[in-house]
């Protein structure tokens, strides 16, 4: 996107990631993360939200994907749009996202 001054921001929510682990499909999640890195290398900002009850498995999958993704665990009830906006704004205010 050289010369483009528009900011591109994508939020991608992958819910119930624990179903991937229970079906031995963690590789699917790893491939998604690698693809997201490719998109980010094109100067897009991608904010993946991964939810599931097996946090240890989820963090391990992210780390072992080789994506270099930074993980932040946020213990929250189910998010509504206004709640998700609040979380993203808070992360931005703390300098955790650009």
Residue 62 falls inside a structural domain = yes
Question: How many domains, the chain?
Answer: 1
For the chain, what percentages of helix, strand and coil (3-state, to nearest 5) are there? 45, 10, 45
Looking at the predicted structure, is the pLDDT value of residue 2 above 70?
A: no
Residue 85 falls inside a structural domain = yes
Which residue range is the domain that position 60 belongs to? Answer: 9-93
Query: What are the structure tokens assigned to 69, written together?
Result: 């993704």
pLDDT for 60 equals: 80
Residue 2 falls inside a structural domain = no
- What average pLDDT does the chain have? 77
* Mean pLDDT across 38-65: 79
Residue 3 falls inside a structural domain = no
Residue 54 falls inside a structural domain = yes
Residue 98 falls inside a structural domain = no
pLDDT for 40 equals: 80
Residue 82 falls inside a structural domain = yes
């Amino acid at each position: 996107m050289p010369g483009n001054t528009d900011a591109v921001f994508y939020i991608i929510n992958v819910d119930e990631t624990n179903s991937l682990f229970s079906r031995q499909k963690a590789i699917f999640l790893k491939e998604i993360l690698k693809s997201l890195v490719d998109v980010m290398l094109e100067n897009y900002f991608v904010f993946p939200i991964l939810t599931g009850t097996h946090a240890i498995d989820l963090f391990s999958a992210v780390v072992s994907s080789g994506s270099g993704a930074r993980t932040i665990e946020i213990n929250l009830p189910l998010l509504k749009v206004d709640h998700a906006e609040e979380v993203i704004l808070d992360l931005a205010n703390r300098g955790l996202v650009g």
